[in-house]
Structures are given as structure tokens and as C-alpha cells.
């Protein structure tokens, strides 16, 4: 896979997150995805479990700004540094997040492995 395929996927994730659209976000993942919202928790194992994580997005945040830099690519694996600024709801507090995604895309361009580490301020 080339860098453009990963950029396209990350741009779709950005559009879904900024647009507070959990359905579009969850459709970026294959149904057999191994999705680690936290490295210390049991991963989601399918599309429905990923959607369950994302469905709260429209009710707990707004004003999302998402940026990323791709750090490395090897075959179908990508490592990216991502940053988000957002307003948390209902508190209306500003939040900054800096994190790392490790993701793999299948031949259809869907993510079948997703793990993230993040620092929240």
C-alpha cells in the first residue's frame, strides 16, 4: 500500500469525527477488526462494537479539529501521530489530545487492526 491510501483513510476518519458521524466512522473498519480504544482493554472485535464506541461522539463533544502526520508505513501497516482539539460536553471544557495510531488496512481499504495510545490535556 502507498501513503495515499493511508491518507485517504485518515481523511475519511477526520471527516467522520469532525462531522460527529459515528456511522461513517465505523464503516471505515472491517467487520473482523481488532480495535483497541485503549491498549489496556479488551479490543472490539467487529463493526457493531466499534459503532457502540463511536455513537456517543455527537453527544459528548463538539468543535472537533483533527490533524495527523504519517510517521511510518510498512506494507499494509501505518503509524500516525494524531492531534485533536475539541470541546467536551456537557461541561464545555476545551480538551487537547496527542496520540499515536497503529493501523492496518485490508485489500478493500478497510481497517482491520487499530490500536491507539494517547495523552489527554
Q: Are 28 and 110 in contact (CB under 8 A)?
A: yes
pLDDT at 43: 97
Domains in the chain and their CATH numbers? 3-120 (3.10.450.50)
pLDDT at 15: 98
Mean pLDDT computed over every residue of the chain: 97
Residue entry with cell 473498519: 29
b (16+ CB within 10 A) / e for 3-18: eeebeebbeebbebbe
Q: Are 7 and 19 in contact (CB under 8 A)?
A: no
Q: Are 30 and 110 in contact (CB under 8 A)?
A: yes
Q: What is the pLDDT of residues 90-114, one digit of tens each?
A: 999 999 999 999 999 999 999 999 9
pLDDT digit of tens for each residue in the chain (121 aa)?
A: 899 999 999 999 999 999 999 999 999 999 999 999 999 999 999 989 999 999 999 999 999 999 999 999 999 999 999 999 999 999 999 999 999 999 999 999 999 999 999 999 9
pLDDT at 81: 99
State whether residue 54 is helix, strand or coil: helix
The one-character DSSP state at 43 is P
Amino acid at each position: 500500500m502507498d501513503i495515499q491510501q493511508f491518507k485517504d483513510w485518515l481523511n475519511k476518519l477526520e471527516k467522520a469525527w469532525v462531522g460527529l458521524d459515528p456511522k461513517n466512522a465505523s464503516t471505515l473498519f472491517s467487520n473482523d477488526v481488532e480495535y483497541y480504544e485503549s491498549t489496556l482493554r479488551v479490543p472490539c472485535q467487529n463493526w457493531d462494537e466499534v459503532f457502540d464506541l463511536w455513537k456517543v461522539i455527537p453527544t459528548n463533544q463538539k468543535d472537533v479539529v483533527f490533524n495527523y502526520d504519517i510517521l511510518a508505513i510498512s506494507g499494509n501497516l501505518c503509524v500516525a501521530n494524531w492531534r485533536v482539539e475539541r470541546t467536551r460536553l456537557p461541561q464545555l471544557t476545551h480538551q487537547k489530545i496527542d496520540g499515536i495510531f497503529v493501523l492496518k488496512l485490508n485489500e478493500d481499504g478497510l481497517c482491520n487492526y487499530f490500536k491507539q495510545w494517547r495523552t489527554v490535556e
